[in-house]
Amino acid sequence: MAYSLSQVNRTGLPPLLEGVSDDSHWMDKRARIRRTWLEYIGELPERPPVHLRRLSTSEEPGYMRHRIEYDTAYGDTIPAYLLVPTSSADRALPANGYPAVLALHPTHELGKDDIAIVPGRPNRGYAVELVLRGYVVLAPDALTAGERIYPGRSAFDSTPFYELHPNWSTVAKNATDHMQGVDVLTSLEEVDSLAIGAIGHSFGGYNAFFLAGLDNRVRAVVSSCGFSPFAGDPHPEHWGHRPYPYTHIPKVTADLQADRIPFDFHEIAALCAPVPFFNYAGQQDAIFPHWRSVAEGMGELAKLYGWLGKEDRFRFYLGEGIHDFPEEIRLLAYRFLDRWLKMEAN
């Protein structure tokens, strides 16, 4: 599956449907993509049984905020907020339970607080906005953020992680932790286990579709400013080893130094198909500035969903804005989740 990065930069992204003429061909290709992805990010270890501890509870207008923690692989603990709608005369608990969303935070030292505490930064309060729409929302801290910053280190310093796990990756660690989050949601009586989605912006955006591509319990995914192919990227090395602060996939560094990429990220996003997928990107995004390549990758994904006969499950919006999750896009994203987690799930 390896490609020359310089050639891809000249000729464009490898077509997802190249050599695919029927369902079996696509499933074979999808399996190859998944094997390569796991070869590079590392294992998805066995997760422990759900052991959720409720540390404190506060009543907010329209919902309850539970500060919780739960175990994950290798003896680690994940702090999180669990936001649960307050039942009322006009919003009673649905017969099958509430739909639920795993809300993943962007690159910010506050971690879960950045999306689940009001008032917060503009255009980042999607965890609270979703609970007010009738979703149970789990907002965890990712490793290196919030309450999971390593002692004596700054936020998003992954050095101690690689000292403990030199042959693993933070991408696989996050995927494992987020799968544990899905375990938590499916264990809750008030949650409809067949109506669980994932949403995130930036760092949370790509972690959301990474999760959806590996865990088929995720029934809809929203990614804002999180899709960043190698092709066209002025700094593709940010996906590989960095001495500081945050390393995603160490193994890809040797490939990049040899002008080679083992995959591109439209292929990783394709692991989600045919799960409903909403993606947004901005043309003035200074962090992921290669919007033409982003649009090309999303075009390939649209072709795949169409070929699968599921074109209504894919939405891509390209705006003129910066690296942000603006209100009008969030509203479109919430309506997308409503369709696939509320209406279609019932």
**Domain ranges within the chain, ordered by starting residue:** 3-343
Inter-CA distances, 125 with 8, 134, 182, Å: 37, 15, 21
Helix, strand and coil percent figures for the chain, each rounded to 5? 40, 20, 40
pLDDT score, position 188: 97
Would you say residue 89 has pLDDT above 60?
Answer: no
Fold held by 3-343? Rossmann fold (3.40.50)
User: Residues, the chain, total?
Assistant: 346
**CA neighbor of 263 nearest in space, from 7, 88, 37:** 37
pLDDT tier at 242 (50, 70, 90 boundaries)? confident
Quick one: how many helices (H) and strands (E) in the chain?
A: 11, 11
Mean pLDDT, residues 40-47 taken together: 97
pLDDT score, position 229: 98
Mean pLDDT, residues 234-262 taken together: 94
pLDDT tier at 88 (50, 70, 90 boundaries)? low
Would you say residue 247 has pLDDT above 70?
Answer: yes
pLDDT score, position 236: 96
Phi, psi for 123 (deg, rounded to 5): 65, 25
User: How far, in Å, CA of 68 to CA of 45, rounded?
Assistant: 23
289 vs 120, higher pLDDT: 289
Would you say residue 45 has pLDDT above 80?
Answer: yes
Would you say residue 48 has pLDDT above 60?
Answer: yes
pLDDT tier at 92 (50, 70, 90 boundaries)? confident
Mean pLDDT, residues 196-209 taken together: 98
pLDDT tier at 346 (50, 70, 90 boundaries)? low
Mean pLDDT, residues 177-182 taken together: 98
Tokens representing 338 are 């409503």
